[in-house]
Structure formats: C-alpha cells, structure tokens
Amino acid sequence: MSFMEAIILGVIQGLTEFLPVSSSGHLELGKALLGDTSLPQDSMMFTIVLHLATALSTLVIFRAEVSQVIRGIFRFSNNAELQFTIKIVISMVPAAAVGFLFSQEMERLFDRQIILVGAMLWLTGGLLFVADRAKRTDKEVSFSHAIVVGIAQAIAILPGISRSGATIATAVLLGIDRSKAASFSFLMVVPLILGKVAKDILDGGINLYDENLSVLGTGFLAAFVTGLFACQWMIKLVRNAQLRYFSYYCFIVGSLAIGYTVNTL
C-alpha cells in the first residue's frame, strides 16, 4: 500500500466513522477500488489502526463527557456520573461478546465482500430514513435503552452497516434526545476499539515492522485529523434531523457496490 492510498483510506475512515454511512463498508469499497491485495489479516490490521485514530479524535471532541465517565468510575455513590458510566459499560457488552466469540468469522467478512457491503448499506439507508421521521425525541438514555442500542452496535459489526447510523437511529427511534443520542453513540464505541487494539497487541495480531509502520502512521494521522472535523459536523446534522440525506447516499452507494461486483464477475 502506498502513502497516497493510506491517506485516501484514512480520510475515508475519518469521515465515515462519524457520518452514518458505514466506515467499514467504505473502507472495503476503497480498498477494492484502489486494488488493495493485502492479506485479510493485514487488511484488518490497517482497519483497526484507522479505527484507533477516530477513537482518539472522539476522546478529544468529547473530553468533557469522557471526564464524566472517568469520575463515575472512581465514585461509588449513586450519582449521575456513575450511572452514565454503567450505561456505557452495558452498551458495550453485546458487541464485545460478538467480537470475542466470532472474531475469526468477522475477519473473513472484511476480505472484500463487496456484495455484502452493498446489501448492508441498503439496510443502513432504510434505518436512517425511518429514524429521521421520528417526532418525539426528548428522553434521557436509560439502562434498557443502553442494552438495545448496544445490540444495534453489535449488529453493526457487519461491514456495510453504519455503526454510528445504527446506534443513533436506534436511539432516536427509542425517543432519546438527538444530541444525547449522538454523544452516547460516539462514546460507547471508544472502549471497544481501545480494548480490541490492546487484545491484538497482546495476542501478536498487530505486528509493526519498518515496511508498514510509516504507511500505518500516515493513515492514522489522516483519519485522526479528518475525524476531528467530521465528529463535530455529525453532531450538528443529527440535531437538525438531517439523517434522511445520508439514507439516500447509502441507497446509491449500496447499489453501485452491488452493480460493480456483478459487472466484475
């Protein structure tokens, strides 16, 4: 992979991690269009590094909320900070279980499965379209909400289903305030990404060597910087109920992905 390809994929990740159009799906489409021939494990490693970059950009944008979570961890009284932390933890359980039990199966799904990506983008588009029509969105995130949104996040591990789109749309359909839905969606994935990276490092799944370190670093920086802008932009879009425009985009890109695959068979 060249430096330019790493920058392009990093920008794609930075934008699509926060916009509800599936970062994993767009990365797979980008790799296919760029002619990436990496082995599945190398391709997955690059994807993980880019996700780490956007996780760190999330921490920067939501540093106040992150401080709230940290305070909740060290305060054992029944307060709002502790409850918020527990909700974040609860929301992580479904995706963590899927990742732990089906990690090898998930890796195979990230090996240029373009038809799957196209179909899942259509599913994402439908979910966004329905959610954008929700009228009453003024609730706080409850413990039961955290479980349901967590299940949506677990399903969104599939490439082509937008994680942010699935979790934000699910939260909005549950009646949760749009701004709080976006904040909760972005924060709930950070511990999972950091945990995944830590696990891969300990298991030897991430091997850094001279030939790929500079390329990974280039993609990381591109994703981090782009993510800082995209995260703030997405919060405004969700607040203003503009998810339907992304549903149209998902329908179009999903159709193109399927058509591209059929034409190359």
Instruction: State yes or no: pLDDT of 243 exceeds 70.
Output: yes
Burial code of 189-216, b = ≥16 C-beta within 10 A, e = fewer? bbbbbeebbeebeeeebbeeeeebeebb
Q: Is 140 helix (H, G, I), strand (E, B) or coil?
A: coil
Please state the φ and ψ torsions of residue 220, each to the nearest 5 degrees: -60, -50
- Closest to 55 (Cα-Cα) out of 190, 230, 232, 182: 190
Closest CA to 10 of 53, 58, 45, 39: 53
Q: Let me know: does 226 contact 23? Beta carbons within 8 Å.
A: no
Given pLDDT bands bounded at 50, 70 and 90, which one contains residue 208? low
At residue 187 the predicted structure's pLDDT band, cuts being 50, 70 and 90, is: confident
Of residues 13 and 202, more confidence is placed in 13
- Separation of alpha carbons 82 and 88, rounded Å: 10
Q: What CA–CA distance (Å, rounded) separates 136 from 41?
A: 44
Q: Mention every residue, 6+ apart, whose C-beta is less than 8 A from residue 135.
A: none
Greater confidence (71 vs 90) lies with 90
pLDDT at res. 222: 94
- pLDDT 10s digits, 128-151: 898 888 777 778 889 999 999 999
pTM (global) more than 0.85? no
The per-residue DSSP string of 22-62 comes to -HHHHHHHHHHHTT----HHHHHHHHHHHHHHHHHHHHHHT
Q: State the pLDDT at residue 114.
A: 77
State the angle between helix axes of 243-264 and 114-132 in degrees (0 to 180), rounded to the nearest 10: 160
- Is the pLDDT assigned to residue 242 strictly greater than 70? yes
What's the CA gap between 176 and 169, in Å, rounded?
Answer: 10
Q: Would the pLDDT of 16 be above 80?
A: yes
Q: 170: domain range?
A: 3-264
- The predicted model gives 53-62 an average pLDDT of 88
d(CA 84, CA 184): 9
Show Cβ contacts of residue 103 under 8 Å, excluding neighbours closer than 6 positions: none
Higher pLDDT, 137 or 20: 20
Q: What are the pLDDT digits (tens) for 91-132?
A: 989 988 887 777 666 666 655 677 888 888 899 899 889 888
- Output the pLDDT for position 239: 72
Q: Give the pLDDT confidence score for residue 146 in this predicted structure.
A: 93
Q: Is 204 left (phi over 0), alpha (psi -120 to 50) or beta?
A: left
Total structural domains within the chain:
1
Distance separating alpha carbons of residues 16 and 122, to the nearest angstrom: 16
Q: Identify the residue with better confidence: 205 or 10.
A: 10
- Range picked from 158-162, 183-187, 236-240 for highest mean pLDDT: 183-187
* Mean pLDDT (whole number) for 52-81: 79
